Amino acid sequence: MTSTTDTARAGGPPPRRAEGPAADGTFTHRQIVTIISGLVLGMFLAALDQTVVSTAIRTIADDLQGYDLQAWATTAFLITSTISTPLYGKLSDLYGRKPLYLVAITVFVVGSVLCTFATSMYGLAVFRAVQGLGAGGLLSLAFAILGDIVPPRERSRYQAYFMAVFGTSSVVGPLVGGLFSGADSILGIDGWRWIFLVNVPLGVAALVVVNRVLRIPHARRDSRVDWPGAIALTVFLVPLLVVAEQGRTWGWASPAALASYAVGAVGFAAFAVIETRYGDSALLPLRMFRERTFSVGVTASLIVGIGMFGGLLLLPQYLQVVKGSSPILAGFQMLPLVLGIITAAAISGVVISRTGRYRVFPIIGTALMALVLLALSQITATTGYWTVAPLVLGLGLGLGLNMQPVILAVQNAAAPRDMGVATSSVTFFRQIGGTLGVAVFLSVLFSVLGGRVSSAYAEAAGTPAFARALAADPAQAELLASGTGGGLESTEFLAGLEPAVAAPFLEAFADSVGTVFLIAAAAMAVAFVVTLLLPELPLRTTSGVQAQAQADAEARSEAATVAAGRSAPTSTAPSGGTREV
């Protein structure tokens, strides 16, 4: 029988260790899928938590007697997850992916346990911030690890698993959130607390799987850690993220908002100076922006984030407010989005693996999303769900065609030592874009809604159907005034209105949502133009681990050659000079 060693000596494949890659850094398909199973668990934790809490936050706020403080629970998570994303990327380049990913899972689970025992909205906001510190690593490091173990030519096939996680969480989240928040108690614990408690077994499972199967060779690099840059980035982003979430309440030109802008500007200036001085050791090395693929990729991700999150936020709002769907039903009605994401990601992954061509997909994806959002801007209160469903599917197809090829392009263009920074930067800019999109779109929605509601009821006042409905039940007028008179704090009043009385409000709301979709379509059109600038480089056939191993081998060979040259004896030439022997 021929041994593995004999096979290797004969020129066959290099020997493979049972728990890690082969000597040349390659992983088997089975090893890759096993590693991805752990990564998917971690990503699912972070992606699901964002959608679960959004559904249940009202119940949580009522129970903790802090309804007017509920936004801080979301803002705290958003701030820490966004800021920690580039830090995880840089530290993982220096110290390895596995320890940082395990830290991210652990921090997220600890934060989930703390959230379970929150007794006030302030306490919940602090604990959600702890969760966010872990979530920042879960979302970005998973793609970086995939870049380490799979060559770019094959990577898009496996990225489809991650896209499926994002799509599934957007549907499962509202279902789970509605299920738990709707229960008074489960096993003696408040129903909403299980939203955080269920993260514990999932997190423990992810820890076990990742710890056992993730074996990525890493040579620790001696480099300064850019803590000043991290602090400056925090000073830059925290005020801007806070005002993005609270600006609609404060007023965009209020003293608090102006102070936030000023502090953010100081933080940005400090961050730029620090990153310049730190050079390659910087948290976000500025030299990377000189690479066209990187600069176009992160810019496109920023703009796509603006349009994408705006659309994903307002579709469920339209279904619940205008069409009367419950949170659980609205979750089911968003299933075409998941189907579109998974289908497009799978198809594009196969095509990219076979052809090595990736540029066309984000171009088609952004164009498709722009057209879908433009079509969604035309929906009305009477538009049927089966008219909306194909558009939801189209939005999912556009997302599936866009997100993974852009990450792939940036990873392919980055040096192996910058894999973590490059990957986390795409996620970072997309999150910033999503935050800006949500803030701007909600501001636009509520800015135009009041005037359109007033106009809609002024036009309806003279119609016979509206007059008959108010005459039949005079309490309808009082209920309507309570819901629309002092700003829209809740939509619960709609349940008590007759269809004829509610119709003007629903028409105005649908019209306002259409305006927001139109702005999102314009943003996506800009993303389309930016994506046209994305270059198409040949996809490497080596993974990050293989490429780094080759680079290290070349560096050692060069160092050995230099050392040998320095130590070689010399003899005197006839001309009186010296020559190397």
CB atoms within 10 A of CB 80: 24
The CB-side HSE value for 308 (13 A sphere, CA atoms) comes to 31
Per-residue pLDDT tens digits for 119-177 = 888 888 899 999 989 988 887 888 888 888 888 878 877 877 787 777 777 777 777 77
Confidence of residue 14 (pLDDT cuts 50, 70, 90): very low
Tell me, what's the pLDDT at 296? 94
Token match 């600069």: residue? 295
DSSP string, 480-540: HHHHHTT--S-SGGGGGS-HHHHHHHHHHHHHHHHHHHHHHHHHHHHHHHHHTT---PPPP
Please state, rounded to an integer, the average pLDDT across all residues of the chain. Answer: 80
CA dihedral 484, 490, 492, 497 (to 10 degrees): 10
SS3 579: strand
Nearest CA among 185, 199, 51 for reference residue 130: 199
Who contacts 312 (Cβ-Cβ below 8 Å, separation ≥6)? 170, 337
Q: Tell whether 7 is covered by a domain.
A: no
Q: Tell whether 11 is covered by a domain.
A: no
| Residue 182 to residue 177: CA distance in whole angstroms | 8
Same domain, 123 and 188: yes
Same domain, 302 and 189: no
Same domain, 43 and 108: yes
Q: Tell whether 568 is covered by a domain.
A: no
Tell me, what's the pLDDT at 480? 66
Same domain, 505 and 516: no
Token match 């993303």: residue? 527
Structural domain range at position 249? 227-282
Same domain, 446 and 457: no
DSSP string, 314-349: HHHHIIIIIS---HHHHHHHTHHHHHHHHHHHHHHH
The DSSP letter of residue 547 is H
520: CATH: 1.20.1250.20
Tell me, what's the pLDDT at 573? 46
Q: Tell whether 581 is covered by a domain.
A: no
Task: Single out the residue in 282, 298, 318 at which a domain terminates.
Answer: 282
Confidence of residue 18 (pLDDT cuts 50, 70, 90): very low
Same domain, 312 and 390: yes
Beta bridge partners of residue 92, listed in sequence order: none
Same domain, 57 and 28: yes
DSSP string, 140-207: HHHHHHHHHHS-HHHHHHHHHHHHHHHHHHHHHHHHHHHHHHT-SEETTEEGGGHHHHTHHHHHHHHH
Per-residue pLDDT tens digits for 65-111 = 765 566 677 778 888 888 888 888 888 888 888 899 999 999 999 99
Across the range 299-325, mean pLDDT stands at 84
| Residue 505 to residue 508: CA distance in whole angstroms | 5
Confidence of residue 548 (pLDDT cuts 50, 70, 90): low
Q: Tell whether 361 is covered by a domain.
A: yes
Nearest CA among 292, 20, 469 for reference residue 479: 469
Per-residue pLDDT tens digits for 179-232 = 777 777 788 788 788 888 888 888 888 888 888 887 776 656 666 778 888 899
Same domain, 467 and 550: no
Nearest CA among 415, 385, 353 for reference residue 550: 415
Q: Tell whether 165 is covered by a domain.
A: yes
Q: Number of structural domains, the chain? A: 4
Handedness of CA 353, 355, 361, 364 (dihedral sign): negative
| Residue 48 to residue 53: CA distance in whole angstroms | 9
Portion of the chain with pLDDT greater than 70, in percent = 82
Token match 């929150």: residue? 118
Same domain, 460 and 470: yes
Same domain, 260 and 292: no
Q: Tell whether 15 is covered by a domain.
A: no
Of the candidate ranges 131-140, 251-260, 330-339, 346-355, the one whose mean pLDDT is the lowest: 330-339
**Cα angle at 127 between 239 and 93, to 5 degrees?**
70
Same domain, 196 and 329: no
Q: Tell whether 9 is covered by a domain.
A: no
Sort 518 into a burial class: Cβ within 10 Å, 0-12 / 13-18 / 19+: middle
Six-digit token string for 563: 């050392």
CB atoms within 10 A of CB 207: 18
Tell me, what's the pLDDT at 173? 76
Integer CA distances (angstroms), 172 to 54, 200, 427, in order: 12, 18, 22
Tell me, what's the pLDDT at 529? 96
**Cα angle at 507 between 506 and 512, to 5 degrees?**
95
Portion of the chain with pLDDT greater than 90, in percent = 18
226 — alpha (psi -120 to 50), left (phi > 0) or beta? beta
Q: Is 353 a residue whose pLDDT tops 80?
A: yes
Same domain, 169 and 198: yes
Q: Is 551 a residue whose pLDDT tops 50?
A: yes
Q: Are 257 and 250 in contact (CB under 8 A)?
A: yes
